[in-house]
Chains A and B, each alone.
Chain A
Amino acid sequence: MSKERIQISEALYDIMPSDYQDLVKSATYGKEDRGWKDIGTSKELIEQHSLCAGCPESMAFRYILASLPNPEDTVMVGSTGCTSLVFPMVAVHNIHSLFGNQNAIASGLKRALSVRFPGRVKDVVVLAGDGATVDIGLDMTLQAWFRQEKFTTICFDNELYANTGGQESGLMQKGFVAKMAPVGKLFDKVRLPEIARESGCHYVVNCTVSKPSLVEKVIRNAVHIAREIGPTYLQLYTPCILEIGKNSMEGLQEMRDSEKPAERFAYKEYVSEPAKQLLAELAAKDKERKAAAKQLAAQAQAN
């Protein structure tokens, strides 16, 4: 879809909700180097949401939507959970169907889009909770990777089932006392990033969403690599402040504390060889483009 398609009929303009008018006027569809810095100066692709006040998932959503390299041709796939409270507010096509089947939906979707739009870029991005990704949907998560499906899987890891009230999940830390883990969780946090690597993902990152610039970088990489090479996986810590007993202002600090070097969300990254090559090519092209723009600007000034 091109930005030209997002238009409002003049006759209807004044009765359209203001957030639509804003989307048409100042959203960043089609902007080449869109990113988190657009937040505040352009219309975001997310309207208000109904997450708990201060929930880090809302930050993550905003950074991700600001960083998608190609939102005008991206379709997102969600799953049941707190994230599904946000998707109705997102201005890219998105699919909610069932709980845990997100990577199966995305597999079918990506293939359909490839059949229908040969030679055109149509990115698919999955965004689901840890329960959806690691527990109920694990087989479909892994099988999509085994099959080398070309889409990005993002897991909002809040280390529990938030939407149903804080039950034990596979990504919960060992020993954590929660609903359905009455004496503390008895087994280790599932090591999905390592499993992702072994399952054929070409780009795997485990981090928090405390730094928007980092989120921007990993999202762009993940989407580009998925588009050209194969599956990519991002596991982002988005603590459920409600269930771990933090107040609205404490989400950011919780993330900062958990990303210290020895902590479980210290930045970890795996990039396959073909993906490394692609990233190098993209970086070189980017450099060229920026240099050309700089030259053009200098010329304009000289004239």
Chain B
Amino acid sequence: MAEIKSVIGTQNKKGQVYTDPWKMLHEAPRTPSFFTGSEVIKEAIRRASCDVMIAYPITPQSEAAALIGELFAEGYIGDYFRGESEFAVMSQCAGASFGGARVFTTTAGPGTMRAMENFPMWAGARLPIQMIVTCRGINSPLSIQPDTLEIAYLLNTGMLVWHAETAQDFFDWILKGYIVSEEPDVHLPLALCCDGFFVTHTKDVVNLTPTDMCLPPYDPYRSPVPCMDMECPPVRMMRDPFVMKSNYISYATHASWQQEIWAAVERSRKHTIHWLNGLVDTENTDADIVIVASGTAVSQGREAIRMLEDEGVRCGLVKVKALRPWPEEEIREATKNAKHIFVPEFNVTGWLAKEIRATVPNSQRVHAGPHVCGGMTMPPEIIVSEIKTTLGMKTFSLAGRGS
């Protein structure tokens, strides 16, 4: 067999050194920098050895998508353009990924919904595209404000779905996301979600890896399905086309492939645990009360816990980092002592609470809420109030009706 040459240690055309990802992310020195979430996306992509980025404007991701255009102009990305709609953009991303490129895109709210038909196709075609979703409202009347309802629609597409809390999560997870989703036994797209504005438009101190280090390039020949570049002989993947054939082979092919997609999601678990240091983070889960949340609801939960502590109420916290693969065992374990499980969410339907109810025994322990939606903020006081009300403690009235 031909010797496989490693690119680690060699330079790309911008002079960045392809670096072992683990070393780059865990051992290389970090520089604290004060950046908006959008700028952090740009900085992560600068180090991600991306081949193609395709953009379309929608608040609150437009700034990040435009900043990546600057990276292209500087020569850090192979190609970049504005597509004509999110549906088209996600198909253009698919085309680029079918052609063996490492692909990046960003969208939000109505854009996610417009493009939806593409996502199960991406997963079914095993395209490890990374899509940042800066969640915003999707309902009429039009809202550009943060709201995480769109994540509910992504959960059953076969994509990996992660939910970042902070800009630091974002920086690290963009880079780690490519590593996990490009593993040959995974090879699935990743929706890396955050709560729009709260993360994208606020400034935070983020510890960045050195600018002169970047991820090794994507190797499309590690894909479990052939790359469509005519560099390997064309294979007849099926004798008959799948479609319209009502026969056993067709059904069996479809059934086994769908199972394989979800098996690949399952196989991503070990890689995700390795790279994200667990699918969840936990604090004080021996307490009677545990808050389980994802995204910026975690930050609000943390603040609520501090406030409750001042009043002598002890409360634990579970930060759910990965939604797909779903941390079933972890959540069960972390909530096993809890008499009450609170799930604060930035959406009207409470999709996370539903997932948790389906996961834990004695699901009447799960209190779905508090919920805010349509762009409302979630002051920690309303989490505190929800918890105290449930415990039968006296609480102040948040929005008095003159009672």
> How far apart are the CA atoms of A111 and B88 in the complex, in Å?
15
Asked if B349 is at the interface of the complex by the 8 Å CB criterion, the answer is: no
18 cross-chain CB contacts under 8 A: A1-B233, A50-B241, A77-B95, A88-B240, A90-B234, A93-B230, A94-B234, A97-B118, A108-B54, A108-B96, A112-B100, A113-B229, A115-B78, A139-B85, A139-B88, A143-B83, A143-B84, A147-B81
Query: Provided the pairs A98-B117, A111-B52 are in contact, do residues A105 and B98 lie with their beta carbons within 8 angstroms?
Result: yes
The reply on A114 being an interface residue by CB < 8 A is yes
Contact A116-B51, Cβ < 8 Å, known A6-B233, A105-B98, A111-B79: yes
CB of A95 within 8 A of CB of B234, answer no
B241 touches A87 (CB 8 A): yes
Instruction: Closest B residue to A114 by CB, please name it.
Output: B79
Minimal beta-carbon separation of A17 from chain B (angstroms): 8
B232 within 8 A of A: yes
Q: Chain A nearest CB: distance from B91 CB in Å?
A: 4
B contact residues around A93 at 8 Å (CB): 226, 228-230, 234
Whether A242 sits at the interface, judged by CB under 8 Å, is no
Do B234 and A97 touch (CB < 8 A)? no
Whether the pair A88, B241 counts as a contact (CB closer than 8 A) is yes
List chain B residues, Cβ under 8 A from A112: 51-52, 78-79, 95-101, 103
Give the complex CA separation of A109 and B118 in angstroms. Answer: 15
Is there a chain B Cβ closer than 8 Å to A140's Cβ?
Answer: yes
Spot the interface stretch: A68-76, A245-253, A259-267. A68-76
**Contact between A115 and B52, CB atoms less than 8 A apart:** yes
Task: Judge whether A89 is part of the interface by a CB distance below 8 angstroms.
Answer: yes
Q: Which residues of A pack against B, CB within 8 Å? A: 1, 5-7, 19-20, 47, 50, 72-75, 77, 80, 84-85, 87-95, 97-98, 101, 104-117, 122, 139-140, 143, 147, 163
CA distance A47 to B235 in the complex (A): 12
A111 to chain B, nearest CB (A): 5
Q: Which residues of A contact B125 (CB under 8 A)?
A: 97
Give min CB distance, A22 to chain B, whole Å.
12
Q: How far is the CA of A74 from the CA of B88 in the complex (A)?
A: 22
B117: chain A residues at CB < 8 Å are 98
Report yes or no: A97 in contact with B91, Cβ–Cβ below 8 A: yes
- CB of B100 to closest CB in A, whole Å: 6
Q: Check B228–A109 contact: CB distance below 8 A.
A: yes
A116 vs B219: C-alpha distance when bound (angstroms): 11
CB-defined contacts of B97 to chain A, threshold 8 Å: 108, 112
Cα(A116)–Cα(B121), bound, Å = 23
Q: Given A85-B243, A108-B54, is A92 in contact with B94 using a C-beta cutoff of 8 Å?
A: no
B91 and A105 within 8 A (CB): yes
Known A-B contacts A105-B95, A106-B95, A139-B84; the reply to A115 vs B79 at CB < 8 A is yes
B398 at the interface (CB under 8 A from A): no
- Contact in complex: B95, A108 (CB < 8 Å): yes
Give the distance to chain A from B209, nearest Cβ to Cβ, in Å: 24
Q: Smallest CB–CB gap between B354 and chain A, Å?
A: 29
User: For window 64-117 of chain B, which residues contact chain A by CB distance below 8 Å?
Assistant: 78-79, 81, 83-85, 87-89, 91-101, 103, 117
Question: Are B236 and A89 in contact (CB-based, < 8 A)?
Answer: yes
B98 near A109 (CB under 8 angstroms)?
Answer: yes
Chain B residue at minimal CB-CB distance from A81: B243
Cβ–Cβ < 8 Å partners of B243 in chain A: 80, 84-85
> Is the beta-carbon distance between B95 and A85 smaller than 8 angstroms?
no
> Contact mask B175-218 → A, CB, 8 Å, 1/0?
00000000000000000000000000000000000000000000
B244 within 8 A of A: yes
Contacts of B4 in A (CB 8 A): none
A5 touches B232 (CB 8 A): yes
By the criterion CB–CB under 8 Å, are A73 and B230 in contact?
A: yes
Return the contact of A105 from the options B79, B94, B231, B238 (Cβ within 8 A). B94
Closest 5 CB pairs of A and B: A108-B95, A112-B99, A115-B78, A104-B91, A108-B96
Q: Are A98 and B236 in contact (CB under 8 A)?
A: no
* A50 and B241 alpha carbons, distance in the complex (Å): 8
Bound complex: CA of A301 vs CA of B265, how far in Å?
67
Residues in A neighbouring B399, C-beta threshold 8 A: none
Contacts of B51 in A (CB 8 A): 112, 115-116
Q: In the assembled complex, which residues on chain A have CB atoms less than 8 Å from the CB atom of B255?
A: none
Q: Does B237 contact A (CB under 8 A)?
A: yes
